[in-house]
Amino acid sequence: MTRKTLVLFFFLIATSYASIAQNLNKPKLDSLFASLESHNRAMGSLAVSSNGVVVYQKAIGYLSVNGSDKIAPNVHTKYRIGSISKMFTATMVFQLIEEGRLSLTAPLSTWYPQLPNASKITISNMLDHRSGLHNFTNASGYFASMTKPHTEEEMLATFEKQTPDFEPDTKAEYSNTNFVLLGYIIEKITKKSYPEELKARIVSKLGLKDTYYGAKTDVKNNEAYSYAFVDSWIQRPETDMSIPGGAGAILSTSTDLVKFAEALFAGKLISQEHLNLMKTQKDNYGMAMFALNFDDKTGFGHNGAIDGFTSVLTYFPGEKLAIAYCSNGGQYGVNKVKNDVLSIYFNKPFTIPDFKPGIAGIEKTGDLDKYLGVYSSTQLPLKITITKDNITLKAQATGQGQFNLNAIAPDKFGFDPAGIVMEFEPAKNQFTLKQGGGTFIFTKDK
């Protein structure tokens, strides 16, 4: 290939990407978010960037609801991003490795010998969830204590008591415990706090104006509360940010998130070698990144969930496309929003949902009576109570908030934000719960 041909080749690629951005159907994206907002299906903020340029931004819903006093968000409103924080933590871990201050093979016992299997667990094991350390947010009693501040010593005491789920490096299982500990290790090595390191190593370096370690929500600082929609927007309890730490304590905006993803994949934060480790999937887990694909396009990133906040960040290297969506409430899942936006972006067939009531013929109050009751499972240590309010079916699991179920088909309901599908068999007094790849049978208590 001649130099002239090569230049022309790259010019054509560049102009084709620019063409997609220029031809972006913004009115259709506006219509999607107008429908989500008007039907109380979603609140949040979206950003899409192509080749390093933000081509679309949108904020809908409210950052605060206090009776009739409602405050609308803007593209600078900050949301708790939950586990997307793990991408920031892993980035700082790899920076320390590149500085020669840490290694992937360093054992956890270097810092915390009192923890189960500490001498067998490596930094690498924690990054890709192969440590076997039990996920502390799944422990009984977590929801009762999540609103109270915790010291590092108190968190470590909790981890010390937990029985490992498996021997290190024999399998993979998602655990927030890994990244809380990685956050602590960053502090041990640098002799500085996690918030300070986050600012110095990523935020200031990239000029992210709306990203930082969170505290109690401050509406005056344009920070959003989270909500559940049960006939109206109901504020959710707040996790004290001393608990999630390096696993989920960061606040950000969708715009800052796409800028972070662009910089990460452009080699501005860590080496290509370590970025490849983040991308490489082993037992469906990378080192703080998942494969989040769309159609025939390969993407990488992470989802987040904390309190009523849900979020998703995905970067498509082949298309040099980044998309981030942060939500503080709603019944339309962030992955569905992301996929809808990508369908519109790539001009795929897509119809704006109308959210009309009466889906699947569930129109009369009496139609729901056959589902009502308290259900138990031999597979999970919780009960789920099914109630109704007029034509809306509602579910509430032990120790958790109530949420609305949307009719998908006869005897089939879902709750998008948590990826829940419930298929009822009224004749058997049972339903099948499907979530996160798991299938669980619940039977109505007598």
Rounded distance between C-alpha atoms, residue 378 and residue 325, angstroms: 36
Domains and CATH numbers, the chain: 79-345 (3.40.710.10), 360-444 (2.40.128)
Q: Which amino acid is at 380?
A: L
Closest C-alpha to 200, from 282, 28, 208: 208
Angstrom distances, CA of residue 293 to CA of 275, 332, 385: 17, 19, 35
Rounded distance between C-alpha atoms, residue 323 and residue 339, angstroms: 10
- For position 358, what pLDDT does the model report? 45
3-state secondary structure 187-236: HHHHCCCHHHHHHHHHHHHHCCCCCEECCCCCHHHCECCCEEECCCEEEC
Residue 98 zone, left/alpha/beta (φ > 0; ψ -120 to 50; rest): alpha
- For position 434, what pLDDT does the model report? 86
Tell me phi and psi for residue 119, to 5 degrees. Answer: -75, -20
- For position 357, what pLDDT does the model report? 55
Q: DSSP class of residue 268? A: S
Sign of the C-alpha dihedral, residues 355, 356, 361, 367? positive
Question: Where do we find the tokens 């001649």?
Answer: 2
Sign of the C-alpha dihedral, residues 290, 292, 298, 300? negative
Angstrom distances, CA of residue 265 to CA of 80, 275, 315, 321, 353: 23, 7, 8, 11, 34
H-helix segments, 39-151 = 85-98, 123-127, 142-145
Q: Which value, to the nearest 10 degrees, does the dihedral of the CA atoms of residues 6, 12, 13, 17 take?
A: 160
Q: DSSP class of residue 138? A: G
pTM above 0.85, yes or no: no
Query: Could you state, in chain order, the average pLDDT of each consecutive group of 10 residues for the chain (446 residues)?
Result: 42 42 85 94 97 97 94 98 98 98 98 98 98 92 90 97 97 96 98 98 98 97 93 91 98 98 98 98 95 95 95 97 96 91 95 67 61 90 86 80 78 78 93 81 91
CB crowding 319-358: b at 16 or more within 10 Å, else e: bbbbbbbbbbbbbbbbbbbbbbbbbbbeeeebeeeeeeee
